[in-house]
Amino acid sequence: MDEETQERVRNWLKRTKENLRAAELEFNGEFYARSISTSYYAMFYAATGALASIGIDRAKHSGIVSAFGEHFARSGKVSRELGQSLNQSRKDREESDYDAVPIADHDLAQKRLDDANRFVSEVEAYLKEHGLTDA
């Protein structure tokens, strides 16, 4: 992987960690809709970084979710559940952000935050194990 790609992956992982920390703060402050949204973005940025590490770039959320499922979850590089979790988190984020009556509550926000922590941990472990990041 060239230096420019390595830098892009590092930057995506930095954004990942920032969003994961923000989601925790929002959850602890009982801002559940925000926590659901920010948890998703932590996952989204981790997925974007993972895809960048193998030379794949997508412009839309649906493209990132689909490509991550294809190139990482369904291929067995990471657990299939991660692809499903990313997809469900995207749906929950959209409902939390755009519905007049958000679906957000403590239990759902906790699940999404737990999913985000697991997602980020597994993606980072894969990238480090395969020498795709030094972050």
Instruction: Please tell me the pTM assigned to this model.
Output: 0.95
Domain ranges of the chain: 3-129
Nearest one of 33, 30, 6 to 131, comparing CA atoms: 6
Question: E strand or H helix at 123, and its extent?
Answer: helix 106-129
What tens-digit pLDDT sequence spans the chain (135 residues)? Answer: 789 999 999 999 999 999 999 999 999 999 999 999 999 999 999 999 999 999 999 999 999 999 999 999 999 999 999 999 999 999 999 999 998 877 899 999 999 999 999 999 999 999 999 988 876
Cβ pair 112, 35 in contact under 8 A: yes
Q: Which structure tokens are listed for 90?
A: 């995207």
Q: Does domain 3-129 have CATH number 1.20.120.330?
A: yes
Rounded Cα gap, residues 72 and 49, in angstroms: 12
Specify the residue for token string 């989601």: 23
